[in-house]
């Protein structure tokens, strides 16, 4: 339409002007019918509801242009308005793609096992030897591992995940996803939960562990028991929470909406006022047809440019930020919280589970007399060694006494499951591995009697078997300090343990082990009790939770706050003893003056209130005792593995990743979100003022005001997307590149047609009216001939069908267009050869017909045989990601492209194809160029579109029938091509 408008304005001859005017009028009417109908419907709904918004303002402007006789500008306004909102909707969908990805990450089907599928003997084997079906066994397939677990996989049935009930058993093989939140019943495997946390490092899932829906089983076989229905799975809850947060408008967005309603009505009133006052005060005529005159024309330009579209688009950055948080395992209950986080002045952080892992490790083994010796040298009760607390490293025994004590403790704690027992077993395993490397051995311990004293410890007898030493029977008491002190025979030992108990806390647990040996032999450190023949040896074992590797870096980044330009205070609030808290603080970089230890929940609440008086306070914790402080803080952040825990319910933000490094990244994202929001508001305000005032003054035409207005709206939307990670931009870039590949021929055809039109206009005076009109007819005829020629004859369908199987729509379009280009090349070569040789040779029409049949046959045979060969050799298996598409930089890819082009050329070298383009050889030069150029573009675009439609059909078959359906289509299409050839 634009080309014909330019042609009309440049034309001086009545014929061309009338023709272009007719086409222009038809195009304008089509725009009003297609784009104006939906806008009018939206406007009617808004007016009926009493709303004055952008739809109402735009419709009034369009209606005004029609009244003024500027319908073309009104049509342009509709096109730009519709196109801009289409792009804005696409950008908004892109911003919410992270939340949609959470829904899509969960499989819709599940393999369900009946209870009878579990072999009880297999259960026992699995329990006794959890590693028997090891996830690291490379030589066992899924069925073999399932048999080791005692599972009859033949009884598994595929059902929809939403139909699975809580308590039913699920089978998940290697490479599959967990369909519902479930607890592992049997098996061990490495699973990836990157869809929830963004953390690529897999975790080990064993019996008793809960696995979230959507987790990817990387190896091994798992039998799980569903613990929640499909609609309550963790991804579903996260997506619901995030969607709710995105719908909950922050203060600024609410303010913009309220302001927008008043502003729209003010713009409407200002427009009416200008129409009334401009002729009286400024002397501007009421009616005019250009930007320089006419109060009504200027007013409608102002009405369009002043619409607050860009202002309403500014809060899109909230949606982008919340979606990105959800994708990285951060749940934000509302955007107001995220906005407040950018202004944080103080961070109060709990210790256990936040700065530390909350998992105990053995950090030291020490004989009681060595601890008492430290006490005597220090002149006071020493308690736990300060260096030991500061380092918090996994203990490695260096003396025979330490190895002996660790071996005995492991023997008694091996079957237990509490945190101290796991720490002892872990330390023993590490020491055993180190002893093998060094050539030493830990003593072997054979248990005798065993008695558990609930809540206090264990007692029993054991036999020590050392290398080259006689066996030794001992009685053992292992447990809390008070329990061991009560069992001590030696009064000095009991008193020493009680003094030490006063200096340690329950967070870095200390236990004691009393080993009593019958007989008169003694060794260093053993004390012979007077009046008895019992030798008593007491050993202390120290435990502490380890500091997270990322805590120090996270605290440092929070203190520097480089993204905001101002430093933040970071303090620790914990119920732990001060000695332990100071040690952790020194490790992570929190000074002693900022460590607040021994706090009760109400004390933490008071610290939060005190910090809020200085500015925005952020509280980070993980326990139920942190819930009051989390609720009172300006921003409460809970470190929680599930959003249903009490601390998570009281918090504003939930971190699903047990990684402190998420926190500074979250604050930085909040700061960037706030900066982009300010940029959006400034851009919106400047664009409104920069377009509305010139339009009101008459310096900018109506279409220019529309272009500036919609362009600013799109710029605001694109600016909001800068919060997306680079991977998202890479994906957008890839999609845009794929779209350009699929549509560049169509774009080229449109641009070529426009160029031909302008060339015809500029050469009008030299060529003449009749020649231009004739060339235009040839141009349209060439387009029709090229497009319709593609759809005729079964040979084209037989040739294009194999090219469209197993590839994406974009690549199938490219292959079809390339084949069409080759086809046209063959036609033109054959036509030129025919014209050059027709006066020198006698052509037998029967011979030409046989030659044409041979060319078509050869083409179809080559294509069909190639397709069958690719299928039989396993090439081009279809997959929805189309990872096997042709790489142009690859030699194999170039060979395939050349083969497609060559078969197209061969197919075009036939008399039937020559008949279609033969009229061009009898036309004048300009007509022939127009006809052949349009024929070439029409054929290429039609062939590509034809092939893309076939590929779309194949894709639908693939989604419903899988790879087997695609293979059948491939074999059938290649066979048809071969048989027809």
Give the residue numbers marked as catalytic: 350
Contact 35, 26 (CB under 8 A): no
CA distance 336 to 610: 22
Dihedral sign (CA 935, 938, 941, 946): negative
Nearest to 408 by CA among 473, 454, 456, 494: 473
HSE-CB for 347 with a 13 A CA cutoff: 28
Contact 622, 659 (CB under 8 A): no
Burial 757-773 (b: 16+ CB within 10 A, else e): beebbeebeebeeebbe
HSE-CB for 302 with a 13 A CA cutoff: 21
Structure tokens at 459: 């007692």
The neighbour count for residue 475, using CB atoms within 10 Å, is 18
Helix and strand numbers (H, E) in the chain are: 36, 23
Contact 141, 175 (CB under 8 A): no
Write out the DSSP string of 748-806: HHHHHHHHHHHHHHHTHHHH-HHHHHHHHHHHHHHHHHHHHHHHSSHHHHHHHTGGGTT
CA distance 617 to 632: 9
- Helix boundaries (H) for 328-468: 335-341, 368-378, 386-391, 400-413, 419-438
Starting at the edge strand found earlier in the chain, the sheet holding 344-349 runs 330-332, 653-655, 635-639, 616-621, 344-349, 569-573, 595-596
Contact 561, 586 (CB under 8 A): no
Phi then psi dihedrals of residue 864, to 5 deg: -65, -45
Consecutive H or E run containing 641: none
CA distance 867 to 861: 10
Using CA atoms, how far residue 344 sits from 337, 606, 922, in Å, is: 11, 18, 80
Contact 156, 112 (CB under 8 A): yes
């Amino acid at each position: 339409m634009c080309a014909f408008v330019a042609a009309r304005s440049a034309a001086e001859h009545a014929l061309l002007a009338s023709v272009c005017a007719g086409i222009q009028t038809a195009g304008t009417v089509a725009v009003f019918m297609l784009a104006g109908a939906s806008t009018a419907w939206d406007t009617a709904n808004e007016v009926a509801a009493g709303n004055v918004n952008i739809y109402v303002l735009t419709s009034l402007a369009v209606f005004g242009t029609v009244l003024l006789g500027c319908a073309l500008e009104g049509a342009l306004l509709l096109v730009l308005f519709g196109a801009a909102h289409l792009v804005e909707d696409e950008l908004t969908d892109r911003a919410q793609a992270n939340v949609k990805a959470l829904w899509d990450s969960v499989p819709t089907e599940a393999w369900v096992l009946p209870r009878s599928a579990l072999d009880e003997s297999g259960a026992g084997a699995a329990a006794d030897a959890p590693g028997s079906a090891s996830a690291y066994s490379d030589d066992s397939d899924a069925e073999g591992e399932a048999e080791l677990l005692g599972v009859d996989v033949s009884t598994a049935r595929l059902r929809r995940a939403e139909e699975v009930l809580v308590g039913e058993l699920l089978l998940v093989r290697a490479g599959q996803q967990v369909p519902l939140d479930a607890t592992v019943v049997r098996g061990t495997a490495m699973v990836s939960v990157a869809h929830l946390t963004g953390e690529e490092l897999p975790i080990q899932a064993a019996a008793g562990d809960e696995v979230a829906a959507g987790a990817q089983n990387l190896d091994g076989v798992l039998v799980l028991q569903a613990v929640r229905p499909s609609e309550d799975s963790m991804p579903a809850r996260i997506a619901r929470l995030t969607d709710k947060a995105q719908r909950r408008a922050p203060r600024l967005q609410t303010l913009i909406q309220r302001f927008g309603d008043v502003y729209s009505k003010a713009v409407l009133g200002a427009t009416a006022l200008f129409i009334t006052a401009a002729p009286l005060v400024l002397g501007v005529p009421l009616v005019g047809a250009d930007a320089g005159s006419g109060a009504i024309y200027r007013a409608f330009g102002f009405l369009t440019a002043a619409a607050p579209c860009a202002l309403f688009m500014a809060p899109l950055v909230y949606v982008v930020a919340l979606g990105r948080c959800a994708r990285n395992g951060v749940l934000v209950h509302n955007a107001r919280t995220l906005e407040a986080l950018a202004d944080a002045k103080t961070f109060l952080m709990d210790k256990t589970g936040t700065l530390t892992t909350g998992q105990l490790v053995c950090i030291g083994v020490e004989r009681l007399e060595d601890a008492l010796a430290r006490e005597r040298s220090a002149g006071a009760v020493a308690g736990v060694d300060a260096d030991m607390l500061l380092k918090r490293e996994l203990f490695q025994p260096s003396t025979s006494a330490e190895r002996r004590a660790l071996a005995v403790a492991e023997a008694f704690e091996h079957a237990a499951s509490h945190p101290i027992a796991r720490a002892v077993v872990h330390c023993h395993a590490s020491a055993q591995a180190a002893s093998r490397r060094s050539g030493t051995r830990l003593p072997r311990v054979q248990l005798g009697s065993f008695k558990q004293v609930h809540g206090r410890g264990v007692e029993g007898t054991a036999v020590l078997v050392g290398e080259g030493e006689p066996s030794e029977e001992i009685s053992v008491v292992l447990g809390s300090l008070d329990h061991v002190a009560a069992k001590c025979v030696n009064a000095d030992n009991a008193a020493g343990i009680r003094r030490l108990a006063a200096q340690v806390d329950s967070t870095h647990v200390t236990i004691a082990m009393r080993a009593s040996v019958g007989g008169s032999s003694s060794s260093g450190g053993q004390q012979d009790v007077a009046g008895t023949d019992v030798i008593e040896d007491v050993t202390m074992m120290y435990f502490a939770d380890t500091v997270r590797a990322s805590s120090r870096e996270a605290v440092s980044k929070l203190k520097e706050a480089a993204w905001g330009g101002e430093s933040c205070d970071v303090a620790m609030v914990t119920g732990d003893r001060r000695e332990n808290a100071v040690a952790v603080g020194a490790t992570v970089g929190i000074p002693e003056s900022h460590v607040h230890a021994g706090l009760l929940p109400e004390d933490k609440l008071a610290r939060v209130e005190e910090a809020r008086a200085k500015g925005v306070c952020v509280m980070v914790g993980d326990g139920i005792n942190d819930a009051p402080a989390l609720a009172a803080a300006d921003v409460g952040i809970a470190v929680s593995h599930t959003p249903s825990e009490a601390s998570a319910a009281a918090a504003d933000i939930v971190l699903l990743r047990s990684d402190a490094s998420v926190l500074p990244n979250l604050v930085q994202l909040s700061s960037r979100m706030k900066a982009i929001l300010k940029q959006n508001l400034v851009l919106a305000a400047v664009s409104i003022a920069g377009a509305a005032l010139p339009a009101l003054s008459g310096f900018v035409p109506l279409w220019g005001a529309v272009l500036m207005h919609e362009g600013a709206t799109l710029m605001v939307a694109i600016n909001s997307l800068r919060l997306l990670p680079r991977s998202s931009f890479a994906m957008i870039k890839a999609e845009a590149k794929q779209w350009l590949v699929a549509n560049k021929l169509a774009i080229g055809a449109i641009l070529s047609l426009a160029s031909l039109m302008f060339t015809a206009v500029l050469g009008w005076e030299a060529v003449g009216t009749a020649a231009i009109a004739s060339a235009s007819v040839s141009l349209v005829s060439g387009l029709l001939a090229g497009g319709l020629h593609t759809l005729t004859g079964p040979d084209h369908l037989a040739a294009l069908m194999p090219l469209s199987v197993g590839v994406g729509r974009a690549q199938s379009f490219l292959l079809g267009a390339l084949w069409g280009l080759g086809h046209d090349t063959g036609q033109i070569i054959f036509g030129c050869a025919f014209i050059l040789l027709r006066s020198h040779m006698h052509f037998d029409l029967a011979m030409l017909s046989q030659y044409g049949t041979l060319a078509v046959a050869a083409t179809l045979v080559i294509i069909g045989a190639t397709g069958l060969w690719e299928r039989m050799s396993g090439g081009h298996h279809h997959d929805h990601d189309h990872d096997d598409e042709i790489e142009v930089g690859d030699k194999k890819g170039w060979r395939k492209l050349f083969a497609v082009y060559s078969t197209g050329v061969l197919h075009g070298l036939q008399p039937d194809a020559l008949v279609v383009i033969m009229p061009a050889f009898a036309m004048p030069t300009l007509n022939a160029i127009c006809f052949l150029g349009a024929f070439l573009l029409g054929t290429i675009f039609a062939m590509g579109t034809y092939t893309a439609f076939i590929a779309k059909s194949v894709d639908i078959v693939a989604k419903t029938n899988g790879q087997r359906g695609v293979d059948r289509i491939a074999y059938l299409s290649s066979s048809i091509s071969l048989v027809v050839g």
